[in-house]
Structure formats: C-alpha cells, structure tokens
Amino acid sequence: MIIDYDVILITQCHVGETSQESIVIINFCYGFSSAPVHVPPRSLTRQPTANHHEQHLSQTMIRPATMVLAVLSFLSFATSTVAAGMTSLADAVSMSVVAAQNNGGGGYTAELFDCLANVTRTYFDRRTVYMYFRRSGTVEYAAAVDAFAMAVQSPKVIVPYSSFTADVPLQQQTRGKVFAFLAEDMLYTQLLNATQRSHFVAVWTRQMPMNNIRRTFRHFWDAGKHVNVVGLVRMDGGGVNAYTYRPFSSYGCNKLGRPFLLDRWVDGRFGVGADLFSSKPKTGNMLGCPLRCAGNEHPPDTVLRPGDGTAQRPQWTTSGVGGKVLEIVARHMNFTPVIMSPKGGVSEMFSWYNSAEVLENITAMLYAEEADLAFGWYSYATHNSAYNTELARTTSIDCLGWAVPYRAGPPPQSWTNYVYEFDKIGWLFIGSMFVVVVGVFHFFRKLKKLHRVDSVVFFVYHTAIDQPLGVLPVWCSLRAFMVHWLWYCMVINVAYKASLGSFMTVPAHGAEFTRMDEILNSALITMATPRSMHIMNATTATTRISRTFMKRLQLLPPTNFELVIDRLVVKRDIALFEVKRFMYYYSIPQAKRIKVKIPIRFLPGCLLRTHTTQFMFNGGSYLIEPVNAVLSTLFETGIVDHWITHLGSNKVLPLEKIRGRVLKLVRLKEAFLFLFFSYAVAFVVLVVEICWSTRLHRRMWRIVLQRQRLDRSSTMATSSNSTGNKSGRRSSNSNTVFPFVH
C-alpha cells in the first residue's frame, strides 16, 4: 500500500548530560506499509518533559528526585543493553522520556511542539499524516508515541518505521512529501535524496550554535538544492525561532551565510506571520551569481548565435522573445546567465530539423545538473514528462496552420476575363443606366433614324461603345442629355478597356485557398517539419479528413528552410504545415527580393493551437516558483504577447488584399454622380423649353388670327399680299431666332 504522508516518532537520550531529552521526528514521507496500526484513543493530556542544559544548572534548581531518576534511568539503560542485548535504544530512550516527563520542567518543550503543531496545521493540514516509529512493545514507548502525536492535528495512521525500506528508492517513496524531524540525531541524512518538491521542518529541542544550524542547512543544499527547509529552534530564554537559509549570500555563491530568521513563536503565535516556505528569501536576490542556461533555438522566438567569448560578445548571444524573457528574469532575480547551446555549430537555417535531438540533449543536461535551467521555446504538446523535467507556466500559444502559394487554386475560365472588370454592383448600375437612356431616346423617337425601339437600342449601344450614329437632336434638353451620356460612356469605356487589357496581358491566377479540404483536394504536395509531424501524430483524430491529411503529409528533407520557402513561392507546388511565425520568419529574405510584405499565403485561422513557454527545469527545481512569478507578471501585462505579435503571429493578409483588384463602384462613383447631375440639368432645360414653347405658340396663334382677318378684306388685295409676305418673313425670322421650335 502506498502511503502518502507518514510521521516518524523516535525518542533518543543524550548520553553524558545530566538529563534526558525527548526527541520527536514527525516525518511526512513516502513509504510502504503492509500493516498500518491505527492510533487508539488515549488521554490527550500532555505531560511536561524535563529538558535542562548543563550550562544553565547555576540558574535552575535541580531537585534530588530528578537527579536520582535520571541516574537510575541511565543505569537501567546500560544494564539492559549490556546484559541482555534485547532492548533497543528506542525502548530505553522511551523509558527515559517517561521518567523525565513525570518530573515537570517541560514548558519550553511543550512550546516547541505547539509551534510544530501550528506549522503542520497551517501548511499541511489537508493531508493524511502517517506516523512512522521504531517497533517496540513497551507500554512506556506507546505512551510516548501518544504524547508526540499530539503535535500533529491532522488524521493520523501509525506505521512501523521498518516499512520504510531500502528496496524502494527513497526518491520514489518521498516524491514531493513533507518531513518534520529532529536535527540533533542526524537521522535526516536518510532524507537528502528526496525530490526538490519536498518540504522539511528541522526541530532543535535546545538552543544550538548558528554554525550547527548552518551545517544542517548546507547538507540539504549540497545534496539536492532543497530550499523548502525551515528550522524550529527552541530558545533558552523562551520562544521558538524559525530559521531558513540563503544559498546566495555575501559569503559567496552557493555558500550559505548565517541562518536567516523568518519569524519568532512567542505566546502561542508567530509575531510577524511570514510565509515560512516562501522562496523569496532564497532566490529573491541571487547577488549576481552565475546560472548555467541551456538554450533551445526556435526561430524567430529564440535565435542563438555564437560570439567570440569576450565580455562584449559572450560565447553565445540570443535574440527573440526567449532571450528577452531570460534577460528580464535574470534582472529581476539578480543572477548572471551563462548561455550554453547543445546545437553546436549548426546554423539556424538547419536547426529546425534537429529540434527533437536538441531537446533531448537539453533534457539530459538538466538531469545531469550540467545546466540550472533551459530557456528558449518549449511546447506542452511535445513535452515528455517521463524525463523528470517540468515546464514553466504557459505564456503563449503557437498557431499551427497552412502556408500555400498565392492564388494557387484552379485558374478561372477564359470568359471571366470579360466580366471581372467591374464588381456586381458596378455592372448593375451600368445596366440600369443603359435602360434609362434607351427609354429617354425612345420618348424622342420622332427624331430622324429613331422611329422604332430596335433602332433606339442599337443607337444607345453604339454610343456606349464609342461608335455613335449620325443622329443630331434639335432640342437643347436632348442635346444636354446626349452630351453627358457620351461623356459617361467615355469614362466607362476607358476603365473597361484598361482592366480588360490587364487581364489579357497578365492572366488571372487561380482562386485562393480558404479551407483545408481545398488543399487536400488540390495537386499541391503537403509537407511538414518533424516537430509538426510529431504534434499531428499525437493529436490527430480518426475522421476522414484527418486520415486523408496524415496519408498525404510528407516529411521535409534536411535542408535550408529558406530553400523550402523559395520552392513555395517560385515553383508553387507545395503546401507547408507549421507554426505561422516560424514560416513568416524564414520568408522575410524572399519578401525582400520580390519587394512584398509577405510572399506566401497563410490560411485564415489555426488548425491546431499548442500552449508554449520559455523555460524548462529539472523536476522540482528551486527556480520554478520565482521564475513562474515573473512569467505571470509578463503574461498578465501582455508584454510577451506584444513581442510575439511584432514577430509576425498576426501578419496574415486579409482575403480581399490577396485577390486581383476589382474595379468597384466606389472608384466609378464620380462618373455616375456627374451623369445624374447632368440628367437633372437636362430635365430643367426640358421644362424651360416646354414652358417657353407654350408662350411662343400663343403669340404665333394671335398673329395667324390677324393674318386671316386681313385676308378676308376684299378691298385691299395688294395690301393683303404685302402683309402675307411680311408675315412669312417674320415667321422665318422667328424660326431663326428660336431654332428649337419645330
């Protein structure tokens, strides 16, 4: 049975001192037990424990009974050990503890265990506590177990200490567990191989020199870089001090200085209320100490370039988001990054193909402690937790999608070259104007050569294509109407002929791809990098389109990725599936050569999204918590996303900017507005002509009446003829003055 949390209770007697000390190891560990023993309900009254130091004998009154009991206990222990050899050290010590508890003077020890109870209850209260102890059949030792179990307020199961065997590796038994132990007996040396996720509470039952406490802390730092270590020291003057250590101090890097006082337990509570297991005192200021940082190249997010090893240009220089984030973390934690790269002399143009091997080398460096952390670009989709590595918190998302040549779809039919000059709305307006003009000229069908509807239609069509017939209108309104119609036809013809010439000279390419199934149904060769192939194999579904996709997908050969982009732009026979920022970065040289922003076409949207981060650590590293705190700030403020955006994640052209330019109505609106205004002017002229013609006809009617009266006069024949001639001349003059009257 796997045990989550255990508590080891051990008693020990310090030989050579005047009194016995009660020593508790409340040890949360990871072990195995076949027969857990549940604690029976006992009296919860804690008996005081005697704990007097030799240097304070002058200040404390030692009662004779206590001296006698101590000597008798020691003699009993020695006699039983030498003569019988059957009683264990723990049994003898337990009897000494019981004897000392019966004599008072245990107030300071009780205060120590009250502090320990508060710590376990505050930080580890919601977990079952398994209590380990050495096998013993004495009643006195069982009573000691009950007394020490009072220090833990969680549910408890007592398990013999012998179940904590060496058959199972300690690192597996104690993965991320909590230990509380007494530091004087050096039993904690068995726990140094626990993972860095573990928490340790060291207990000193008497005031110790700072060097002894520092030595204990150094064991934990040297063995496994454990930083979650807190020491509870009972002070002679009363109270309990909570200490930790700072591995980066004024003494030097990885050289522990004086133990750092976190808080003090007085009168049943901590004075400051500090977080005892916070990483800030340990890694908040690393005093410029060097940390070995293994870099994972992933253009454009992280690019590693070799330097000359000088202070101005170290062995490796970085650029991209990964290098910027590393710089901010190093500045915040005050350490000096020493950049290493397992890629060797491989150029960034070829490093994409060996990304899996580089990642395995970085993992091996972390496991062998050749590197303190790894930076660059790491995806949760390709991370293998079996290597005992851990990724930092996610800060970004990779967008995996398709890159295809521009207008790589099937080419349009040849007849489309004659109708693609204008959009649908433009053609609608042009057709409506043709109908209106036909109706206007049909209204004036009495004009010469425009007697039937078909003749009117052909006349308007001839004018529309700049081939007008010899028809001369007489009315000024019709002349104004026709002049502006001819001007409008000239503009439309020029625009149409220019667009038609461009389509005929440079034939239109195929349609743009907008969906994945269009790519799969095309003749393009679908290809992907090894990293993308690995992600697709891990996430692909059993749908028809997924099976078709994986069946057609081919692996790119190891080559310069710029050549892959050149093939995509020039030969136009492949479609790439990769992270969009990655493909955009390698397309920049080709874009500069052909003088465009983006030489390839990205399909809108993302086929897959994978969470990514900039750091990877060894499992349980002490750097995880402080680095995650900095990354959380960068993520919440949007700084990382801002950097990624400027590296091309959103540089995907809209669909309307990729198609051929269509002559839309907005570019022809001036011609239509001018035509409508001209029609309004022609209409006003027509109304004026109608009104003016009515007045002229009335005047001419009066003249005709007068002429008839003169003709009836029989007495003035000669005068009548003269009047008729003058009237004829007047009519001729009137028609000359008003030529539009007919």
Q: Is the pLDDT of residue 331 over 60?
A: yes
pLDDT band at 455 (very low <50, low <70, confident <90, very high): confident
More confidently predicted of 7 and 330: 330
Region at 334 (left for phi over 0; alpha for psi -120 to 50; beta for the rest): left
DSSP 239-270: SEEEEE--SEETTEET---SPEEEEEEETTEE
Q: Is the pLDDT of residue 80 over 50?
A: no
CA distance 47 to 339: 59
Q: Is the pLDDT of residue 249 over 50?
A: yes
CA distance 433 to 426: 11
Query: What's the confidence (pLDDT) of residue 6?
Result: 35
The residue with tokens 């000088």 is 310
- The 3-class SS string of 62-100 reads CCHHHHHHHHHHHHHHHHHHHHHCCCCHHHHHHHHHHHH
Which residues lie below 8 Å from residue 133, measured CB to CB, with a gap of 6+?
8, 9, 10, 90, 145, 158, 160, 161
CA distance 320 to 302: 5
> For residue 372, which of 617, 102, 119 has the smallest C-alpha distance?
617
In sign, the C-alpha dihedral spanning 445, 446, 452, 457 is negative
- Whether residue 300 is preceded by a cis peptide bond, meaning omega within 30 degrees of 0, is yes
CA distance 339 to 316: 6
pLDDT band at 76 (very low <50, low <70, confident <90, very high): very low
Least confident of 140-144, 192-196, 413-417, 553-557: 140-144
Query: What's the confidence (pLDDT) of residue 721?
Result: 52
% of the chain with per-residue pLDDT over 90? 17
Q: Angle, to 10 degrees, between the axis of helix 717-737 and the axis of helix 669-712?
A: 180
pLDDT band at 94 (very low <50, low <70, confident <90, very high): very low
Mean pLDDT of 587-606: 87
Question: Tens of pLDDT along 418-435?
Answer: 787 888 888 888 888 888
Q: Which residues pair with 608 in a beta bridge?
A: 400
Query: What's the confidence (pLDDT) of residue 34?
Result: 33
Q: Is the pLDDT of residue 49 over 50?
A: no
Q: Is the pLDDT of residue 29 over 50?
A: no
Mean pLDDT of 106-116: 73
Query: What's the confidence (pLDDT) of residue 48?
Result: 37
More confidently predicted of 267 and 140: 267
Residue 37's Cα: distance from chain center in Å? 49
Query: What's the confidence (pLDDT) of residue 507?
Result: 66
Question: Tens of pLDDT along 287-305?
Answer: 899 999 999 988 888 888 8
Query: What's the confidence (pLDDT) of residue 5?
Result: 34
CA distance 71 to 18: 8
Q: In what order do the strands lie in the sheet with 6-9?
A: 6-9, 129-133, 156-160
Phi, psi of 701, rounded to the nearest 5 degrees: -65, -40
Q: Tokens at residue 451, please?
A: 């007697």
More confidently predicted of 22 and 615: 615
Q: Is the pLDDT of residue 665 over 80?
A: no
Least confident of 497-511, 523-537, 699-713: 699-713
Query: What's the confidence (pLDDT) of residue 142?
Result: 52
- Average pLDDT value for the chain: 72
H/E element, 524 = none
Q: Is the pLDDT of residue 2 over 50?
A: no
pLDDT band at 205 (very low <50, low <70, confident <90, very high): confident
Question: Tens of pLDDT along 138-185?
Answer: 565 454 445 556 666 655 555 445 444 444 444 444 456 777 777 776
CA distance 252 to 254: 6
In sign, the C-alpha dihedral spanning 287, 290, 291, 297 is positive
**How deeply is 261 buried, as exposed, middle or buried, from its count of CB atoms within 10 A (0-12, 13-18, 19+)?**
middle
Domain layout of the chain by residue ranges:
2-283, 284-411+509-667
Q: Is the pLDDT of residue 682 over 60?
A: yes
Query: What's the confidence (pLDDT) of residue 307?
Result: 74
CA distance 415 to 372: 67
Query: What's the confidence (pLDDT) of residue 32?
Result: 32
% of the chain with per-residue pLDDT over 70? 63
Query: What's the confidence (pLDDT) of residue 418?
Result: 75
- Cα end-to-end span (Å), the chain: 119
Q: Please, are residues 481 and 680 in contact by the beta-carbon 8 Å criterion?
A: no
Q: Tokens at residue 267, please?
A: 């009168």
Query: What's the confidence (pLDDT) of residue 611?
Result: 92
Q: How are beta strands 303-306 and 316-319 bridged, if at all?
A: antiparallel
Least confident of 249-258, 597-606, 649-658: 649-658
In angstroms, what CA-CA distances link 41 with 24, 38, 144? 20, 9, 14
**Amino acid identity, position 102:** N
Q: Is the pLDDT of residue 283 over 70?
A: yes
Topology annotation, domain 284-411+509-667: D-Maltodextrin-Binding Protein; domain 2 (3.40.190)
Q: Is the pLDDT of residue 78 over 70?
A: no
Query: What's the confidence (pLDDT) of residue 577?
Result: 93
Question: Tens of pLDDT along 53-73?
Answer: 333 333 333 343 344 334 434
Q: Tokens at residue 123, please?
A: 């930080």
Which residues lie below 8 Å from residue 224, measured CB to CB, with a gap of 6+?
192, 193, 194, 195, 196
Q: Please, are residues 158 and 131 in contact by the beta-carbon 8 Å criterion?
A: yes
CA distance 599 to 583: 11
Vertex 518 angle, CA 517 and 524, to 5°:
110
DSSP 535-570: HHHHH--SSHHHHHHHHH-EEPPSS-HHHHHHIIII
